[in-house]
Homo-oligomer: A and B are copies of this chain.
């Protein structure tokens, strides 16, 4: 009953399923890295922070592997419309995950800089921000695993919550810096860490957009404005 053509199709689908699993696992590694980075920040543990930084190499290596596998997969048959989308989406999602890993490692790296000075209060805003970012990344990974465009769209729209939270934290940090110049250096690190986490949210929306594109073959409507409100002219209306 089975023709050679069926056989090729089947090996392609098996390969694609295997790759999806690989990408989702890679994504879980990246989320775990983010959570570990926040954990070492709160515990002020520079040794553990160094381990988080070192672990990032594994994600980078996986991204290289995945992108090679994806391109080889394309060689298995003349690609049709959906296959082309799968290939592009897999490459882009793997690249987004690699960058999420980079940002997590960067949070860990900056936490080491914080450990050499006295603790500053606004550090406590970061775990909440990171918690929401991790939730969004997990949602878009699940949406990719199940090719569930609607779940991707919902997570995508929730990035606005993360942006609002980031903007609040950004303002809080500026206020601290103005009140106590000694807090400027540590708060600057916290600003960059918060920005890293906000960028993780952007990559989650990027993954969501790729899931939508795979399923529907078109861009997710009303392409989201990049919403770092702290870059807008409204910001300087701050207390003093």
Q: Which residues of A contact B (CB under 8 A)?
A: 46, 67-68, 71-72, 74-75, 78-79, 84, 87-88, 91-92, 95, 102, 106, 109-110, 112-113, 115-117, 174, 177-178, 181, 184-186, 188-189, 191-192, 195, 226, 228, 231-233, 235-236, 238, 240
* Cβ contact within 8 Å between A113 and B74: no
* Cβ contact within 8 Å between A46 and B191: no
How many Å from the CB of A143 to the closest CB on chain B? 21
Count chain B CB atoms within 10 A of each CB in A68, A91, A189 and give the residue with the most: A91
* Cβ contact within 8 Å between A233 and B46: yes
* Cβ contact within 8 Å between A67 and B88: yes
Residues of B within 8 A of A195 (CB): 192
* Cβ contact within 8 Å between B113 and A236: yes
Q: Given that A178-B181, A185-B238, A191-B188 are known contacts, is A116 also in contact with B71, CB under 8 Å in the complex? A: no
Cross-chain pairs A/B with CB under 8 angstroms, 26 sampled: A68-B88, A71-B74, A71-B84, A71-B88, A72-B84, A74-B75, A75-B78, A91-B91, A92-B95, A95-B95, A109-B231, A112-B232, A112-B233, A113-B233, A113-B236, A116-B233, A117-B236, A174-B184, A174-B185, A174-B188, A177-B188, A184-B184, A185-B235, A186-B236, A189-B231, A191-B191
Complex CA gap A24/B228 in Å reads 29
Name the contact of A87 in the complex, choosing from B71, B116, B231, B232 (C-beta under 8 A): B71
Count chain B CB atoms within 10 A of each CB in A87, A95, A174, A181 and give the residue with the most: A181
How many Å from the CB of A52 to the closest CB on chain B? 13
Which B residue sits closest to A108, measured CB to CB? B231
Residues of B within 8 A of A189 (CB): 231, 235
